[in-house]
Amino acid sequence: MAVFAIATLQLLQILAAAPVLSDTLASSPQGCASQCGNVSIPYPFGSGAGCHRDGFKLLCNETYHPPKLFLDNTGVLVLEISAQDGTMRIDGGILSLLAGNQTDDTVNLEWTVPLNGSLYTVSAENIFAVLGCGFRLMWTVPDPNGGDGTATTCYSNCTLGPPAIATDGTCSGVGCCYSGLFGYSNTFDIQYSTTERSHTMSSSLVVVDREWWSEKENVMAMQQAISAHSSSLGASGGVRRAVPGIEVSTVVNWVFSTSSCAADRNSSDYGCLSDNSECHDSSDTSGYICMCQRGYHGNPYIRHGCQDINECASPGEYSCFGECINLVGSYKCSCPRGTWGDPRKPSGCASTKRKFPGFVVVISICGGIAVPLIIIGALFVRRKLRGWKARKSREFFFKQNRGLLLQRLVDKDIAERMIFTLEELDKATNKFDEARKLGGGGHGTVYKGILSDQRVVAIKKSKIVIKREIDDFINEVAILSQVNHRNVVKLFGCCLETEVPLLVYEFISNGTLSDHLHVPTPLSLSWKERVRIALETARSLAYLHSAATISIVHRDIKSTNILLDERLIAKVSDFGASRGIPIDQTGVNTAVQGTFGYLDPEYYHTWRLTEKSDVYSFGVILVELLTRKKPSVRMSSPGASLTAEFILLVNQDKISEILDPQVIEEGGEEAKEVAAMAVMCLSLHGEDRPMMRQVETRLEALQTGAPGVGNSVGTDGPMLILNNPSLEQNNTNARENLSRRCSIEEEFLCSMSLPR
């Protein structure tokens, strides 16, 4: 019987192992090439007629040794394809960056891969990495939801020493910088400028797989390839190209179809054909991919493509040190007959043969008494240990989340009242249920919650736990704890007991100004509502600049950061980038933060932050209210930004060409008054811009219809008006002003016509 059992077990294992062999033959339809050089070709990809789905055609170039695989006619070199997880690795190439030998010489470039954006997107698993010296680099990742996108800045210099990069791919900031991606796109806008006058700078940029970048051999090979071909790279600045001797691995996500699983499930075009496959909607873009169920592997896009894994033949992944029997979709691991224990551990099965029966009886009796006592003691110790761990965890996260800094920045009693427990916020959001998710931005995700006292709140949860983000979080708490204004979103408190910091705000139910303004209908907010919202925003900024205990510069004023309640009352939000300025100072020097299109060009070039930086951003919002156009919109004039073209048309008395038709109909002469204020706020030099208190006074007079608005004087000094001679220039002077604006801002403002 024992011999028969062993023979039966061996037969079962042989039969279970058979699908693994057939799985390698089932990755592509019969008669289609399944390999090109070292790269496997799984369906829906293919190189021959009838072997691929539309959009997934490959070309195998056999003139290379070994042959190389390319994606159709795009010239994109394919390094690896995974049908199981919907990814593809390509040679992303190296983008050479060139600039002149003058400080602040700026060029605009694009890193682009020629892929079908509906099927393929560059994955956020990649990072931006730049090698070189003496540069400042800013790139913009488009927002997949149609927002302004996320801008990231890094810079490197050689004044601290020779260029250096660690063998694991990390950068010291000398000759190298890198950052993660915060979105999914095939095109990234890049602004590149020099910071050192003594050299003609040349650097190299790659969008590379994070794991590839961390491998010592890959980093060394890339450095050698760049060094060996530096002359040819430098001759083609701004061109993304492959470099002989190195294949830069870039991860690309792909979807089988642009429809959802539910839409395609019952159609003839449904892709998940294998019996043991399942459909997953993509979380990054529209469309879906198919995966084999747990216990199976292979190609889910062809019939019988997902086949059973023989766990018994893979001891490294599925540990079994006893008797292993493969089952369909699983396996059974047990100790051999006559032994007991844990067969998944080495030597885990012990013999049950009794050599000393009397001794075993004594041990059994003692064990019967001791086991209950041990269990009770273990439960007691476990309870005490869990309490100790929870206390230590809270203390650790309190320090990590800069709780001590918060106590120094805010009055201790106020700080204690503002702190919420994690347990209370878990109950308020049903453990941060996705159904409670309100939206997200570059810094975090916002959830709707209901506190125990029935207050409805918005809870902001940061995305990335790094020191700079935590400092921004504490800065926002400190700023908002000192602010009490009806047009500033109210901060109820924060939670410091978790790895990810949390902020608790009042809940604003009616979306953002951008949501209400940019709607696909002829009519939007009425003119009276636009003027009132502009006035309420100006009041809040005037309060922050001059009425708070310290002067607070918001630094990221834009239409998506102005919330509207159920009565359309404006509430300024998102103070993560705000900066306090002591009363006895006019400004501070700090790294650039903000959003393209709204960012003060003087602050961008000088790194000098003042209250007038918020005035410039407010001027952009006035233009947005007047035109119903986003700052990133492409303009009719080549190279012109929305603000530059707006100023030109105002100076040429052709403002009606750019105004929203609804504003022309409802605003009349008042619209010209607001346009004049916008032009003043958008002055290139901060000293030429009005203070927010002056703007507030002008808007109040405009809203109340006070007589003599066109010639009124603000409380802090004279306000320029539309009929001011400095604004009534002829067309020639207007064109000269626009040219001067473009030359001073370099590509900063004028490049706003490009999509961000």
Whether 106 and 135 have beta carbons less than 8 Å apart is answered as no
Residue 717 DSSP class: B
Distance, CA of 646 to chain centre? 31
Joined tokens for residue 749: 């403002």
Q: What residue has token string 């106020």?
A: 414
- Active-site residue (options: 23, 148, 264, 556): 556
- Please give the radius of gyration of the chain, using alpha carbons only, rounded to the nearest integer: 32
Distance, CA of 16 to chain centre? 45
Number of Cβ atoms within 10 Å of the Cβ of 614: 27
CB-based contacts of 540: which residues, under 8 Å, 6+ apart?
Answer: 485, 487, 488, 570, 572
H-run or E-run covering 297? strand 296-298
Joined tokens for residue 617: 């951003």
Strand partners, 675: none
Active-site residue, 556 included: yes
Amino acid identity of residue 219, one-letter, is V
Across 25-64, the runs of DSSP E, i.e. the strands, are 35-36, 39-40, 58-61
Whether 247 and 77 have beta carbons less than 8 Å apart is answered as yes
Contacts 24+ apart (CB under 8 A), 389-393: 393/497
Q: Before 66, cis peptide (omega within 30)? A: yes
Cα–Cα distance, 615 to 637 (Å, whole number): 26
Q: Before 522, cis peptide (omega within 30)? A: no
H-run or E-run covering 68? strand 68-71
Cα–Cα distance, 710 to 676 (Å, whole number): 10
Contacts 24+ apart (CB under 8 A), 258-263: 258/118, 258/119, 258/286, 258/287, 259/286, 259/287, 259/288, 260/286, 260/287, 260/288, 261/288
CB-based contacts of 198: which residues, under 8 Å, 6+ apart?
Answer: 101
| Residue ranges in 89-189 assigned as alpha helix (H) | none
Whether 496 and 600 have beta carbons less than 8 Å apart is answered as no
Q: What is the DSSP string of 460-519?
A: EEES---HHHHHHHHHHHHHHHT---TTBPPEEEEE-SSSS-EEEEE---S-BHHHHHS-
User: Helix, strand, coil % (nearest 5) of the chain?
Assistant: 35, 25, 40
Cα–Cα distance, 478 to 461 (Å, whole number): 17
CA-wise closest residue to 254 among 186, 335, 305: 186
Indicate the SS3 state at residue 351: strand
Phi and psi based region of residue 134 (left: phi greater than 0; alpha: psi -120 to 50; beta: remaining):
left
| Residue ranges in 559-610 assigned as alpha helix (H) | 601-606
H-run or E-run covering 81? strand 76-82
705 — phi, psi (to 5°)?
70, 30
Cα–Cα distance, 52 to 230 (Å, whole number): 39
Which residues are annotated as catalytic? 556
